[in-house]
Structure 1
Amino acid sequence: MTRIVRLAARLDEPLLVTAPVNVRYLTGFVSSNAALQVDPAGDATLYTDFRYAEAARSVEDVKLEETARNLLGALAERLAGRRIAVEAAHLSLASADVLRGGGVELVATTGLVEALRAVKEPGELEHLRRAATISDRVFGELAREPFVGRTEAELAWWIEQAWHEAGADGPSFAAVVAFGENGARPHAHPRDAAIPEGTLVVVDAGCSVAGYLSDCTRTFFTAEPEGRLLELYELCLGAQGDGLAAVRPGASGQDVDAASRVAIGEAGLGERYGHGLGHGVGLEIHEAPTLRPESDSVLEPGNVVTVEPGIYLPGDVGVRIEDTVVVTDDGCERLTTVTKEPIQVG
């Protein structure tokens, strides 16, 4: 059963898919100016302009309609007088006004395609495994690189180049390389600041393979792993293990997140773990399902999620340890398997 047919079975009325990533998921077609109309009967029409029309003709199981470059304006004319469901999370207010101005009745929907994307097919898992394998290789090579005296930005650029050399299509997001107080910022930006001895360095990076992404974080020591820094690291590692143990079919995103907070909370550092435990990974680096206190997700086999608790001490240091895992019939399997033993880098 094709993805379009599976989506159509969930529809009560035609759905206009406008998020580029969702158009790609349903058809394999990559474009910055395309929309896909899927009808409950399973018929699908792909709309795009001249620049992409030739490529669109090779897309199977869809009818192609070439439009003007003003895609939404063209759709407003073609769909005038019709009732159409739209992706409320992806259609801007301005775009909605264009459609309504043309006489299209819009019905807001959320998460219809995303629900399909959340459960990975075997081919998708193959791409995700390949991305994770490359991630393991690059992180393993990174652990043998000198850190001390090099800037965060230099190491981030090394990682960028390493993805291509290892066979990836490129990065899945801009790498985070952050030592000391910068490591206490979960989404830190690499600085032109030299890494010193005696600190922790958080490295969060991932790569892309055929559009599918990896995501991994490791925290490195620039001195002998011991004392307070080692205690923080081991506390975070234990919390990550608790989170991994809680990932299973039927578990709620809230409960998995909560399992990762027990040890950190008992250590009096609960407020220093301020983000959710994890998120889905696939064609996007953040997608369904979610593992966080306010999550309404329930895990099922085929979900791919990150498990990444962190401890952040402002003005001091941060530590985060992250793996990407696939939910199996009885638990989860780590896709990123590079060592989590405390590693000292030079």
Structure 2
Amino acid sequence: LDAILFWSLENIRYLCGFTGSDGALIWGVEERVFLSDSRYEEQAKAEVKAAVFQKYRKKVEGVAQRLRAMKVKRLGFEAPVLSWETHRRLSGLLPRVCLVPLSGEIAGLRARKTPEEIGKIRRAVDIASQSFRDLLPRVKAGAREKTLADFLEIRMKRRGGEDPSFPTIVASGYRGALPHGKASEKKLERRDLTVIDFGTRYEGYHSDETKTLILGRPDPLQKKIYDLVRRAQEKALAAVRPGASVRRIDAAAREVISRAGYGKFFGHGTGHGIGLAVHEAPNLSPRGSGAVKEGMVFSIEPGIYLPGWGGVRLEDLVRVTGRGCEVLTYLSKDLKDNIV
């Protein structure tokens, strides 16, 4: 390849430092160029460190013009990001350039975090965790899911978060069976299991954590499901070490749940990488590939979701160390600490 065209804002920020909302980065063998329009000219001049800046009036045409000037013949591009329409237009403007799709080859570009990146994730975790503690006194029968989600998001911003990592999930009672259940007007009821999935962004880096609370003394089935998910999470955490395959870590959690007869109620992967994006490499699932490496940061989040009854998910973030892992999130997942 003569160059790679980066279109995703996360990779652009990672490689050259630009934090705005539009642009493209050409990463050549000898020449690196960041391109954007006049709205970001001053910002780019202040932020971009590893590339020269070029302004365009029209994005695709401006990128094509620069590629012609660089005499690029074989161009890699982010296949999961670049739209078919943009690809078609680039192909038309660059008939002599061979466009080479890249996916797995660059999927792990940001997977191993530097100490500076890990520090920002820790700060995001701290903001979110302290905000969750602010929320706890409000988690009671009669409170509406959406009211709780709104309060938590406001607290995270007031404590220094840039934005929520994603719309905060509060799913109580039977709605806990929705893994990504949007907070609704439903009121929490006594004895409800309540799944709360939350996170914030700090200097571009995200946190992500899930707690499941029980409003009152748990009944036998609630205790059984909660303890089962907790054991599955502990097994997966114990399996994390440099060189461990992502499928093996997933299997460590999945086997606990499957052996208890609830395998079909755990439908998602055990974890995902996190950083400049909420979901990035590695992918810890039965379909994932590769092994984890020191410096990677990802979630461990098994769950069981029973339609019409509710669900339990427990999620922590971990950093792979030289011998195992460090859990970055610190709110307790033990059952006794999650009865409110």
Q: TM-score range by the shorter chain?
A: over 0.9
Q: Give the drift of 1:60.
A: 2.2
CA contact (8 A) 1:290 1:297 kept: no
Q: Give the drift of 1:250.
A: 0.4
Of 192, 197, 208, 1:199 maps to 192
Partner of 2:118: 125
In 2: Cα distance, 1:236 partner to 1:115 partner: 29
1:253-305 deviations in Å (ceiling 9; x for gaps): 11000000122111111111111000000011000001000100310001000
In 1: Cα distance, 2:303 partner to 2:199 partner: 18
Q: Give the drift of 1:112.
A: 4.7
- Read off the aligned partner of 1:86 and give its amino acid letter: F
- Read off the aligned partner of 2:28 and give its amino acid letter: D
Of 72, 79, 82, 2:67 maps to 79
Aligned pairs for 1:1-346 within 5 A: 12-41=1-30, 43-58=31-46, 59-68=48-57, 70-80=58-68, 82-83=72-73, 84-103=75-94, 104-342=97-335, 343-345=338-340
CA contact (8 A) 2:172 2:193 kept: yes
Task: Could you tell me which runs of 5 or more consecutive residues in structure 1 were left unpaired when the two chains were aligned.
Answer: 1-11
Give SS of 1:300's match.
Answer: coil
In 2: Cα distance, 1:221 partner to 1:281 partner: 28
Q: Give the drift of 1:144.
A: 2.9
Give the TM-score, by structure 1 length.
Answer: 0.92
Q: Give the drift of 1:226.
A: 4.0
More divergent stretch after superposition (135-144 vs 285-294): 135-144
CA contact (8 A) 1:163 1:207 kept: yes
Give SS of 2:269's match.
Answer: coil
In 1: Cα distance, 2:105 partner to 2:12 partner: 12
- Read off the aligned partner of 1:31 and give its amino acid letter: G
Number of residues of Structure 1 aligned to a counterpart in Structure 2? 332
More divergent stretch after superposition (134-143 vs 122-131): 134-143
In 1: Cα distance, 2:297 partner to 2:32 partner: 28
Q: Give the drift of 1:76.
A: 2.4
CA contact (8 A) 1:250 1:298 kept: yes
Give SS of 2:121's match.
Answer: helix
Task: Could you tell me which runs of 5 or more consecutive residues in structure 2 were left unpaired when the two chains were aligned.
Answer: none
In 1: Cα distance, 2:22 partner to 2:122 partner: 30
Give SS of 1:258's match.
Answer: helix
In 2: Cα distance, 1:334 partner to 1:125 partner: 12
- Read off the aligned partner of 1:248 and give its amino acid letter: R
1:118-177 deviations in Å (ceiling 9; x for gaps): 000110000011111222222233333232101111111111111022222221111000
CA contact (8 A) 2:24 2:63 kept: no
Q: Give the drift of 1:56.
A: 1.2
In 1: Cα distance, 2:274 partner to 2:82 partner: 22
CA contact (8 A) 1:184 1:318 kept: yes
Partner of 1:8: none
Give SS of 1:182's match.
Answer: helix
More divergent stretch after superposition (130-139 vs 88-97): 130-139
Give SS of 1:196's match.
Answer: coil
1:193-233 deviations in Å (ceiling 9; x for gaps): 11111120000000111010000001000111342111111
Q: Give the drift of 1:113.
A: 4.6
CA contact (8 A) 1:133 1:335 kept: no
In 2: Cα distance, 1:184 partner to 1:168 partner: 29
In 2: Cα distance, 1:107 partner to 1:272 partner: 40
Give SS of 2:35's match.
Answer: strand
Identity of paired residues, percent? 39
